[in-house]
Amino acid sequence: MFGLGYFYGIDITYIILVMPALIFAMYAQSKVNTTFNKYSTVGNKHGYTGAEIARRILDMNGLRDVIVERVGGNLTDHYDPKKNVVRLSDSTYSSTSVAAIGVAAHEVGHAIQHAEGYTPIKIRNSIVPVVQIASYAAWPLAIFGILFSFSGLASFGVILFGLVVLFQLITLPVEFNASNRAISTLGNNAILDNEELAASKKVLSAAAMTYVASAAVAIANLLRLLSIVGMGRNRD
């Protein structure tokens, strides 16, 4: 369909650019699941639950207005800045494992970022509405532009997908910073001992890899889109 991008019906750009990133993403997801499952069986010596630690760290930082609530699912933990709520999954909320403690502290890290006006999270939150639209519209617009020789429309599709990549890249410092805050807080306040802290750090490091993988997939797809648009122009 797009000339050099296809070889006997096989999309070469997908194989060369996207597949390696997808394989990395699958590995990263497998890694975080196995790491979390491994340390979800290791309890902390104080018997703290994820919810208790989340509440404690929030209060330590003067964020008593932030609510901690339970949400269904496994590893569905997140901070909702609109409602000012830290939501902890079934696998974290009432668990006393070092894995759960690390995840809970990480999500609280996002609440602290929001309260402090941490620049990367402000930028990320500000572009969320645009990125949500861009993620759905970018490819259709680019392909439509190629098919009907509207180079400007194809370029606009590329620009929109570039915003998706930007979002993924901005997410990296946001997530790394939240994890660093979590480990520092858990260690400096003797919530976990050194051995427990090392285990929690492994869980958060594995989780961080999934964000790196997501960024890699986004970049690979952007390069693929650029390649397809470029070949479409050459065809014209």
Confidence label for 2 from pLDDT (cuts 50, 70 and 90): very low
Q: What is the pLDDT of residue 135?
A: 93
The pLDDT tens digits of the residues spanning 24-47 come to: 999 999 999 999 999 999 999 999
The number of helices, as runs of H, and strands, as runs of E, in the chain is: 7, 5
Q: Are 171 and 214 in contact (CB under 8 A)?
A: yes
Contacts of 200 (CB under 8 A, 6+ apart): 39, 98, 99, 101, 102, 105, 182, 183, 186, 192
Average pLDDT over residues 218-234: 83
Q: What is the pLDDT of residue 89?
A: 97
Kind of pairing, strands 67-71 and 6-7?
unpaired
Is the dihedral angle over the CA atoms 81, 85, 91, 96 positive or is it negative? Answer: positive
Confidence label for 1 from pLDDT (cuts 50, 70 and 90): very low
The pLDDT tens digits of the residues spanning 172-220 come to: 999 999 999 999 999 999 999 999 999 999 999 999 999 999 999 999 9
- How far, rounded to the nearest angstrom, does the alpha carbon of residue 150 sit from its chain's CA centroid? 34
Structure tokens that stand for 72 in this block: 């269904």
The catalytically annotated residue of 52, 69, 107, 175 is 107
Residue 9 has pLDDT above 80, yes or no: no
Respond yes or no: is residue 69 known to be catalytic: no
The pLDDT tens digits of the residues spanning 111-157 come to: 999 999 999 999 999 999 999 999 999 999 998 998 888 889 999 99
